[in-house]
Amino acid sequence: MAHKILIVDDHFIFRNGLKDLLAEIPGADVIGEASSGEEFLKMLNDLSPDVVFMDIKMPGINGIEATKQALEIKPDLKILALSMFGENEYVEEMLQAGALGYLLKNIGKDELIKALDNISQEKGYFSDEILVMVTRKVFNAKQESKEKNILSSFTKRELEVLQLVSQGYSNADIAKKLEISPRTVGGHRNNMLSKSGLNNTAALISFALKNNIITS
């Protein structure tokens, strides 16, 4: 399938390199290039591209805002974000803006072919490094949510016991301090282990310190 492509990036050398790669791909026709979001938006109607490779960090109108404005003008436009490695914080914003994919600037010819093939089928495309980052971010978010639920399930008394356990007090010492029985202290320990799914008191203390619910 033929693609009319517009490249938006403020680095001349990168634009030329990407054009050279695209020139090797049958059906990939680079019809224009822009060095800023403003320049891109001005030429959008005249050139009528169907695919845009969009840099994110540009002076003036950045890639995120340019993507939003472009899709208001041409809702069917297929935009692929371009990013340097380590700029992963922009993934979510670009997707919310309407980009169909997210590519690192070290992209090669084979990956470009895959990306163009995917978006021609209305599918998204992400560089492998981006997929790993997104997967890790989702996993971490789920872990944080799980940990918050565990923490909210601990009672005030359990947290008092945990604080004293972390300070090295025995069950008998804790019982005296809190004026409860040693068996009750042991029960509170076991309840926290059960709620957290942890195997021992050391792991429980480590979990509590990590989440700042006790002081060392």
Looking at residue 207, its pLDDT comes to 86
> Quick check: is 142 in a domain?
no
In this structure, are residues 56 and 62 in contact, taking their beta carbons and an 8 Å threshold?
yes
Averaged over successive runs of 10 residues, the pLDDT of the chain (216 residues) comes to 92 94 94 95 92 93 95 94 73 87 88 89 78 65 78 90 89 92 92 90 86 76
Number of domain units in the chain? 2
**Bridge partner list, 28:** 3
> Quick check: is 170 in a domain?
yes
> Quick check: is 106 in a domain?
yes
Looking at residue 172, its pLDDT comes to 93
> Quick check: is 94 in a domain?
yes
Q: What count of residues does the chain have?
A: 216
Q: Where are the beta strands (DSSP E) in the chain?
A: 3-8, 28-34, 51-55, 78-83, 101-104, 125-126
Looking at residue 56, its pLDDT comes to 92
Domain that holds residue 17: 3-133
Looking at residue 131, its pLDDT comes to 65
Which of 133, 162, 194 is the last residue in one of the domains?
133
Enter the pTM of the model. 0.64
